[in-house]
Amino acid sequence: MSSVSTFESTRWRFTKAEITILSGADIVAAYAIWTFVTYLTDVWDLSVTQAAGIFNLYYGIIKIMPLFTQYIVDAFLGNYRMLMISSYAFVAVSFFHSSSIPLWYWPNTSGIYIY
């Protein structure tokens, strides 16, 4: 009988260095998302409680979405179509996010104030 564990017998075989690098990247990504709370409190003037609620909702959706999207990919779309749809969605959300910054936050270089 083989003494190979379930983790090692799978198709994915990661070294300790690769696991460390992936864990470090996840920590950096979590910190970048955490700065979103500072953005909401400083730029949008929300309370810390409101910003934390928005952050928790966002982070919870991020962690649950792969369950639903993987079913859609496997059953209907395929990898390439889902990659294209998610890329276009990312560009659209990035545009809407950058355009949602209040006008008073942008530095005014023209001398014209729009209110």
Q: Phi, psi at residue 113, to the nearest 5°?
A: -100, 125
Confidence class for position 114, pLDDT limits 50, 70, 90: low
Position 73 in a domain: yes
In a domain, 78, yes or no: yes
* In-domain check, residue 4: no
pLDDT in tens, 44-74: 888 999 998 998 998 899 889 888 888 888 8
Report if residue 54 sits inside a domain.
yes
Contacts 24+ apart (CB under 8 A), 103-109: 105/43
- Residue 36's pLDDT is 85
Q: How many domains does the chain have?
A: 1
Q: Which two tokens stand for residue 75?
A: 């059953």
Tally of CA atoms within 13 A in the half-sphere of 99 that contains its CB = 6
Of the two residues 114 and 58, the one the predictor is more confident about is 58
**Position 115 in a domain:** no
**What sign for the dihedral angle of Cα 111, 109, 37, 90?**
positive
Residue 101: give the domain boundaries. Answer: 10-105
In a domain, 83, yes or no: yes
Predicted confidence (pLDDT) at residue 88 exceeds the cutoff of 90: yes
pTM greater than the 0.75 cutoff: no
| 92-106 confidence digits (pLDDT tens) | 988 887 777 666 666
Q: Tell me, yes or no, whether 38 lies in a domain.
A: yes
The answer to whether residue 5 sits within a structural domain is: no
